[in-house]
Each structure stands twice: as C-alpha cells, then as structure tokens.
Structure 1
Amino acid sequence: MKLIHISDLHLGKRINEFSMLDDQRYILEQVVKICVEEHADALLLAGDIYDRPIPPTEAVMMLDWFFNALAAQKIKVCAVSGNHDSMERIAFGAGLMKQSGVYLSTVYDGSTQKVILTDEFGEAQVYLLPFVRPSIVRRALGQEEIESYQDAVFAAVKHMDIDTKKRNILVAHQFVTGAGRCDSEDIVVGGVDNIDASIFEAFDYTALGHIHSPQNIKENVRYCGTLLKYSVSEVGQEKSVTVIEMGKKNDIVIRTIPLIPKHDLRAIHGSYMEVTARTFYQGTATDDYVQITLTDEEDIPDGMQKLRTIYPNLLGLSYDNLRTRTQQTIDFDSKIKKKSEKQLFEELYEKQNNQPMSIEQKQFVEELFTRLQEDKS
C-alpha cells in the first residue's frame, strides 16, 4: 500500500500583498502528477486546507478541482480540518464525497471517522482526527476531565477503539512537543497546545500537519511540512511530499519526493549597488519572491519601487547597517538650551545612525537652517 502525506495547503493565502493562488495551483498539479506516477492508493491531507475559516471563492474552487483530479484517478483522499479551517465547513458534504473516495473529517462529537483501505496484506485503518481544542473534546466527552490539549488528544485517541493487530494510520493536526517551528505558523503563547508524541504509540504511522518544516518527531510520527515556502525563515528548506509504503504489519518505508515551485522564496543581502548590478542578478530567477536586506548606511529613497523594476515580487526591504545593529537611546541633557539647533540636529543624526554627518551633509544643514532663519525674519 502506498500513501502520499501532505498538509498545510493554506489555500487562499497572501504573503504581504501577493496572492499565492497561482503558485498553489502549480504545486498541486505536481502533487496530482506524483500521486499518479507513484500509483498511490490514498492521499493523506493533514489539515489547514484553507488559510482562514471563511476562504475566498477562488480557494474553494481550487480545492474542488484538486479533489476531482484525484478522484478521477481513483486515488482516495483522507483529509482533516486544521486550526485555520472551519471544522463545520470542511465537514460539509462529507457524506456525499465519500462516495467518490474523498473522506473528510466530521465535526468532532466524541467519535473519530475511520476509513478502511485494503491490499494483499488485509485492512489498514485510517483515523481522521480534526484539530481539537480542550473545550471541543470536553463538550463531546462530558464525563472526561479534560483541561489541556494533551488531555484532549489523549481522550480522543482512547475513544478510537484501535485494533492494534491491524495496520493503523492517524491523520491529525496538532503541535507535538519538540517540533521546530517557522515564522509563518500560529504560535500559542506558553506552548499550551503541546502534546506528547507518546499519545501516538498505537499507530503504525501518524501523518501530522500544523508545523511548516518537514521533520520526524519519532520514527513513524512525521510532519511533512508545507508544499510552498510561506516565510523567509523557510528559505533554506526543501519542500516535498512524504511517501509511505506499507507492507504487512510493522513493515513501513518512508521517503520524500522534492517539489519545484513556480516561484522560489529567497533572501538577498548586499548593498544597493551590488543587488542592482546586472552581473549580480543576470541568470537568476528575478521573479522569485524575495526579501532584500541592504547594507547601505543611508536609506535608498523609494527603495522598494526601484528594486521592483528588477525584482517584481519583492516582499519586503530592510537594512543591516550601523544604525540597525546598534539601537541607542536618545537622551536630552541639562545643557540642551546652551546648544544651537544645528548642534542638536548633528547630535540627533549621530545617535540615530551611529556615525557623524559628512562635511557635505553639515554644509546642507547649515544652509537649511540659514534659510529657515531668513524666512522667520
């Protein structure tokens, strides 16, 4: 049996003012192609299907296309809702969709939907656990004492009535202690959403979503990561899909297949003259999503607009120089009244930029203050 594990599509996402829909369609087409070429039996989609609970129309249409493309190839889909999704919206139509081999997690009511897959080694049971908070599980299992996320997921798993003699797979969307995070994820202050990986011991494979960096928490407990880079903290990552090949019980092989985005997300560092030199950018994908950090001591006027003539998908511009490296507090001493306006201005400039004004700048300021004095008189 062969399964493809993906998560955190975040359909409809925007990075700064840029819509990612075209990039998401491009990468989903690759996922469908991989599923077909690998002769996958099922796709495991571990939550955060959409980027927000009420997704834009275009995102809904894209998911409809994606599910139809997989169903047309007789590839089953086992999907759960994540913390960015509306559990109720994802569950809508689940009863009808399963007739086409698309299985969606239902609203959690104390029971967990189970999908049965079969091959020459018998049954494999896939449990679909949507993202659950303590309040959701406490309401569904009134007799349980549930205070934390750990309690909630533990109780949900306990009520699955798992047959450990069979192959068991869990699709879930939670934060497991020890996972490395990225800037593009939602962070719960204090880590109160943490759960321990020991909860998943009954499963032969746990397909997790929520964390955007691909990583194993334990040998068969894995975050596959996002299909695309959604923050500069992910620049060094290689995005991929995870392939799970299951033979008989306890016989499992896990590997990854890299993905090639329509536009990569890169970080560029250098002076304005360097990053705008033809020798620097010629032959590179200048239409990638880029975050540029300039090392110039002076801010470049209209820097974003000028840089976008070369890098049209510029996400942001920052500076790495004396001013930004050393933050100084600007204090006003008791002798302030004894200093001229020109002296105060020069001191302010030096405090803000960690360097004195140049001779040309001092001359300009002196002329400026002279004109202001003339205008007053």
Structure 2
Amino acid sequence: MKLIHLSDLHLGKRVNEFSMIEDQKYILDQILTVIDEERPDGILLAGDLYDRPVPSAEAVQLFDSFLTRLAQRKLPVYAISGNHDSAERIAFGAHIMSSSGICMSPVYDGKTAKYCLTDSYGEVWIHLLPFIRPSVVRHALAGEEGTEEIRTYQEAVQAAVEHMDIDIEKRNILVAHQFAVGAVSCDSEEITVGGIDQIEVSVFRDFDYVALGHIHSPQNVGSDHIRYCGTPLKYSFSEAGQQKSVTVVELKEKGNLKVREISLKPKRDMRKLKGSYMEITSLSNYQDTNTEDYVQITLTDEEDIVDGMQKLRTIYPNLMRLEYDNRRTRENQNVAGAETVQKKSELEYFEEFFELQNNQPMNKEQRKFSEELMQKLKEV
C-alpha cells in the first residue's frame, strides 16, 4: 500500500502582501507529476487546505481543480479540515464527492469517518480526525460521564481517539491536524500562547501511521510512524533554509512501514540575503541566481539607503522585506528589549499577532471589537 501524505496547502495565502496563488498552482502541478510517477493507492490531505475559514474565489477554484484532477486519475483522497479551515465548508458536499473517491472529513460530532483500502496484506483503515478544540469535543460528547472535565487539547484528542472504532489487529492510519509535543515550529504557523494546544504523541499509539498537519517543517515526532510532511511551499523566512517535499508512505504487513521524501522545486524560492548595498547590487552577486525569488534583504550599511526598497526592486522585483543590521539598529534593540515587555498592553500584543497572521494591521472596527472582547474577558 502506497500513500502520498500532504498537508497545509494554505491555498489563497498572502505573504507580506504578495499573493501565493501562482506559486501554489505551480507546486500543485508538480505534486501531480510526482503522483503520476509514484502511482500511489491514495492521497492523505492533513488539513489547512485553505489559509482562512472563508477562502477567496481563486483559492476555491484552485482546490476544485486539484481535486478534480485527482478524481480523474481514479485516486481516492482522504482530507480533513485544519485550524485555518471552516469545518462546515470543508464538509460541504462530502456525500456527493465520496462517490468520486474524494472523502472529506465531516464536522466532528463525537464520531469520526473511516475508510477501508485493501492490498495483498489485507485491510488498511484510514481514520479522519479534523482539527478539534476542547469546546468542540465537550459539545459533541455532551451527556457522557467526564465530558465536562475536558479542558485541554490533550484531553480532547484523547477522548476523540477513545471514541474511534479501531481494530488494532488491522493496519490503521490516522489523518489529523494537531500540535504534537516535540515538534519544531516556524514563524508562519498559528501557535497558541503557552503551548496549551500541544498533545503527547502517546495518544496515537494504536495507529500504524499518523499523517499530521499543522506544523510547516517536515519532521517525525517521537517515532518514524508519526510525521508532519510540512508545507509544499515556504511561507515565512524562517523556512528559507528548508527543502520542501511530499511524503511517500509504504505499508506492507503490519509493523512494516517505509517513509521517504520527494523534494519539490518552487517557481520562486524564498531566500535571505545579507551584505552592504554595493555587495547586494553587484552583478557578480546575483547573475547566476533567480532574481524573481522572494527575498529578505538585510543591509549592513551604517547609513540607510534612500529609497532602498524601490532601488533594490529593480534587481529583485519580489523583495518582500528590507532590514538593516548596523550599529544603530543593534543599539535600538538593546535599549528597547527589556522596556518593551513592560509597556505593551494585551491589546498591543494581540495587534502584533493579528498583523503577523494576516499580513496587515487591524482596522478601526477590528480594534474596537478586540478591545471590547478583552474587557469582557477581564470581567469574567
């Protein structure tokens, strides 16, 4: 049994106000080429299919095209909603699509969908667990003993797994979207303050392979059979040094598992450059590189370059961020470091977080709503 593990497509995402749609089209075409070469028995899509709960029309059209091309290849697809998705929108039309082999996770109601594939070694059961929060599980399991005590993500996922119909004599695969303890995160992810959304991998002990989404860096967690495949594209400069890939999972008899990666090459890479203005703009520095890449440039000049962003974009049209590393900026960092923490309010922290996630600042209505909500929380 051979399966392709994908996650965190984040279709429709914008990075520093640059739309990723064209890059996403390109990488999905490349993934389809990999699929044609590998000829898998199915595709696992582990959440965050879109970048926001109400995706753009372009993002929906792109995902529709991708699913259609998979269905044309007679490939079953097993997809779940992630924390960036609307579970209800992902579940829409699931019964109709399942007749074409596109199996979308239903909204969690205390039960999880499961599907069976067979090979020469017998049955392989694929279980779909969409992203869940403690409140969702408490509501879904209302009336059962101990349900009201579910307060943590660990307790929520544990309860959800305990309610699954798992035959441990068979081979079982779980598709899930949660933050496992020990996973290494990066800047483009939505991380809960204090790590309260983390879960122990021991909760997955009954599964032969766990196809996880949520963390953007490809990695195993705890063992070879619990894995994040990572994003197919880089969505932050903290990922600049990573090699993105798809994960191929091959199962033989129970207990015999092989996992490997197939590298992906983006239309435009994401790179960090550092040096003086003269070094960065020197022909010898960029003539053998793809100047269309998304870049972050850190200039080491002691004086700021007038209209530096505009000048640099004549060479690097997709320059996303311009920073300086010199005596002045290092002194500013040292002075502001300890004082900033004391002076910032909860709202200011939230505004920074909002801008980081959405690549744009709050408008007046959003700020007012957030301010009123924080005041209510303080009164509780």
TM range (shorter): 0.7 to 0.9
Alignment correspondent of 1:358: none
**Distance in 1 of aligned mates of 2:10 and 2:140:** 27
Q: Which amino acid aligns with 2:117?
A: L
Number of residues of Structure 1 aligned to a counterpart in Structure 2: 330
**Distance in 2 of aligned mates of 1:71 and 1:119:** 20
Alignment correspondent of 2:91: 91
Alignment correspondent of 1:128: 128
Alignment correspondent of 2:118: 118
Alignment correspondent of 2:48: 48
1:227 paired to 2:228:
no
Kindly report structure 1 stretches of 4+ aligned residues shifted beyond 6 Å.
Answer: none
Task: Kindly state the Cα deviation for residue 329 of structure 1 after the two structures are TM-superposed.
Answer: 5.2
Q: SS of 1:326's equivalent?
A: helix
**Distance in 2 of aligned mates of 1:169 and 1:265:** 33
Task: Kindly state the Cα deviation for residue 161 of structure 1 after the two structures are TM-superposed.
Answer: 2.0
Task: Kindly state the Cα deviation for residue 303 of structure 1 after the two structures are TM-superposed.
Answer: 0.6
Task: Kindly state the Cα deviation for residue 85 of structure 1 after the two structures are TM-superposed.
Answer: 0.2
Alignment correspondent of 2:178: 174
Q: SS of 2:184's equivalent?
A: coil
**Distance in 1 of aligned mates of 2:171 and 2:31:** 25
1:304 paired to 2:315:
no
TM-score (normalizing by structure 2): 0.86
Alignment correspondent of 2:241: 236
Structure 2: which 5+ runs fail to align?
A: 337-380
Post-superposition CA distance 1:292-335 (Å, at most 9, x none): 000000111111000000000000100000011122659xxxxx
List aligned pairs for 1:205-216, cutoff 5 A.
205-216=209-220
Q: SS of 2:25's equivalent?
A: helix
Q: SS of 2:89's equivalent?
A: helix
Task: Kindly state the Cα deviation for residue 36 of structure 1 after the two structures are TM-superposed.
Answer: 1.6
Alignment correspondent of 1:74: 74
Of 187, 190, 200, which residue of structure 2 is paired with 1:186? 190
Task: Kindly state the Cα deviation for residue 219 of structure 1 after the two structures are TM-superposed.
Answer: 1.7
1:109 paired to 2:109:
yes
Task: Kindly state the Cα deviation for residue 221 of structure 1 after the two structures are TM-superposed.
Answer: 0.3
1:293 paired to 2:313:
no
**Distance in 2 of aligned mates of 1:161 and 1:146:** 21
**Distance in 2 of aligned mates of 1:206 and 1:304:** 44
1:319 paired to 2:327:
no
**Distance in 1 of aligned mates of 2:170 and 2:125:** 7
Of 113, 138, 151, which residue of structure 1 is paired with 2:155? 151
Alignment correspondent of 2:369: none
Task: Kindly state the Cα deviation for residue 17 of structure 1 after the two structures are TM-superposed.
Answer: 1.5
Task: Kindly state the Cα deviation for residue 120 of structure 1 after the two structures are TM-superposed.
Answer: 1.4
Task: Kindly state the Cα deviation for residue 74 of structure 1 after the two structures are TM-superposed.
Answer: 1.1
Of 197, 201, 206, which residue of structure 2 is paired with 1:197? 201
Post-superposition CA distance 1:254-307 (Å, at most 9, x none): 000000000000000000011011111111100000000000001111110000
Q: SS of 2:262's equivalent?
A: strand
Distance 1:322 1:111, change over 3 A: same
Post-superposition CA distance 1:52-109 (Å, at most 9, x none): 0000001000000000111111111100000000000000000000000000000000
Q: Which amino acid aligns with 2:74?
A: K
Alignment correspondent of 1:10: 10
**Distance in 2 of aligned mates of 1:72 and 1:252:** 28
RMSD: 1.0
**Distance in 1 of aligned mates of 2:115 and 2:53:** 25
Q: SS of 2:231's equivalent?
A: coil
Q: SS of 1:256's equivalent?
A: strand
Q: Which amino acid aligns with 1:77?
A: V
Of 269, 286, 306, which residue of structure 2 is paired with 1:281? 286
Q: SS of 2:44's equivalent?
A: strand
**Distance in 2 of aligned mates of 1:187 and 1:139:** 24
**Distance in 2 of aligned mates of 1:67 and 1:94:** 12
**Distance in 2 of aligned mates of 1:284 and 1:294:** 19
Q: SS of 1:4's equivalent?
A: strand
Post-superposition CA distance 1:194-220 (Å, at most 9, x none): 100000000000000000000000220
Q: SS of 2:191's equivalent?
A: coil
Alignment correspondent of 1:365: none
Structure 1: which 5+ runs fail to align?
A: 331-377
Q: SS of 2:296's equivalent?
A: strand
1:39 paired to 2:44:
no
Alignment correspondent of 1:256: 261
Q: Which amino acid aligns with 1:199?
A: V
Task: Kindly state the Cα deviation for residue 16 of structure 1 after the two structures are TM-superposed.
Answer: 0.9
